[in-house]
Structure 1
């Protein structure tokens, strides 16, 4: 006898009905969460690709950066010696989608703060793509700092500055100091279901409201770290509109000095739930478990504040010492 079929729960059916207009999309979405597909392994090259590299690489998407490869399903990149040598970082392709918005920024970016940096994939993407002179990688949860530092060190980002601070402390100590702030916000993690992981309570209203309120608090602090003419990238790995489009609408009302940035290369991924230029990757596209993203630019004029070097010196975590 085969394994018993899984039936969608009422909360999942309700969410699918909110997200999609067609029965086919609803069914495909629920199928991806109930019977997770096997996604192609994805690697972010943090060092030049060796000429002898011979893995089977899948055709790139039009917006996919050259330093990212999707590999054949049979490849196990994490087991290759190049992984331990720091040549690449393994990540879900959804993460590549979420941070690919940075490729649309026309200006040179010299200063970046990744407010929710662990485990480090988006920090490393930014480090490779934009080559900023200063990269601050902040992680509030202390137990997650170790893996963040380990990944930065392994992949060679030794010039990154790692912090373990509440965003409100950063605003107090060094406001308006970054040309780019990344907020890959803590969320209900509904996309983990598409990876075969259990996420109890991820559809519950209490969970959604708690996460949305936390996301708003982080974004409110992030807004105060962005310089004039700077950028703010907001992303999550969940599907609920309460944590995505509705948070973005709240932010734009609360901080009218920011305007959303349309990204024509991602037009096919425009969220159907809003007219704002928000972008989604769905789990039933067979690309990744799912992601939401919106890029914003600050348009008002304000004095750029110097970075509080004393604060950074006193609070940065030494890469070598933290990973011994």
Structure 2
């Protein structure tokens, strides 16, 4: 099949011990909408796949993996003030990491050229030795590391409103994985890092690209930034595989951030990435990260399965824009940091 959507009820097992924005309803909303939506013959719905826990050692310290497993076995607990583990989280966490890397391997082997993985818990804040920001294991980082070990040049594009500090730091010292993130100004939002001057280290210097943008950034403005920074860098890097950390918390209604995108802008940004991958003849794998308005998560996830073809769900809402000059100023700051590495 040309396209695949990986989703399953295993992701409902990771349940918070108290009211929490990252909850099973995020996946249930997708499953419910999927039952009422015709994706067409292009998209195959596939089941999740659990990773062997030893594979997690490719990106996480063995002691940390063992600590999470032990916490699950005693009924759960908190990895940090924001990040819970329940007595049923182990299978869901293994499925989230396993499904993204399995989808990536299938894409590399030519079994599909676009895969959307609707997984939870999310992953892009998870560090080598700790979970944080609602994330237990770093799903996209595992897929990237496995692809890197096959000799592929990997580009990770993180479009969550929060900087994926876990992913960035896992690959901070290598030039074999390019990490590009569009996110809200870290002076105003968790994890309070992800500044343009954080560019990587050693061989990896210049390969962490932080496109920090102001609160209120809307559809046209994020596309402006992406077109002027991300696309030229991707063209220069020439990746063999694109992995997308797709957080739908960029939406104007999301309670945890202050971007002003609509469903239309989220669709357009995914299309920008898709069209680049198509022009290069390389596969693309999209993994769910954040997004805490259930109907947005559901609609944008299903929209992504038909990237480059048709937008199933749209939005007529008009969101008031911040001055374009403010966004241009942010974009220029990023360019100044990166011009010595990339043709900007």
TM-score with structure 2 setting the length: 0.39
**If you compute each CA radius of gyration, which structure gives the higher value, 1 or 2?**
1
TM-score with structure 1 setting the length: 0.41
